[in-house]
Amino acid sequence: MKATFGAGCFWCIENDFRKNGVTSTSVGYMGGHVPNPTYEQVCTDTTGHAEVIQIEYDPSKISYKKLLDVFWNNHDPTTLNRQGPDVGIQYRSTIFFHTPEQEKEALESKDTLEKSGRYGKKIVTQIVPATEFYKAEEYHQQYYQKCGLG
């Protein structure tokens, strides 16, 4: 199964998802209007794309709900188009769902988190249908491992 999340810089979150049950990860771009964008284009904040991680996972080993937990616990879903020092639409908090079941689970998890009061602010995470995924340049893939950080 596939899951796709935007939670700020894709380098930062890819490592968080490389756990049991996740069979592969790829970082790239989704949600914009420019086909086959480059990193440089996405950084101009004009393509509409978010930096995302696309995950292949085995639902018998890890549930979509667990992936949502990783997503919520590894970024601030209350900041619009920003994560830490990174600012721009490409850093927005987004869940791109691939199935109606993923949409339902994502909406329920967002509602539960909002009602918990954990953040004390409104959650601005978008929950939208997945569109075409454009894989980022090879040097971005598993960046932390390549740099000895992961």
Q: For residues 104 and 127, what is the distance between their CA atoms, to the nearest angstrom?
A: 10
Choose, from 9, 12, 43, 147, the residue flagged as catalytic. Answer: 9
Contact 14, 25 (CB under 8 A): yes
Indicate if 147 belongs to the active site. no
Longest dimension (CA), the chain: 40
Q: Is the dihedral of CA 41, 43, 49, 54 positive or negative?
A: positive
Residue with tokens 């929950």: 127
The Cα 123–Cα 113 span in angstroms is 8
Q: How many helices (H) and strands (E) does the chain have?
A: 5, 8
Q: What residues act catalytically?
A: 9
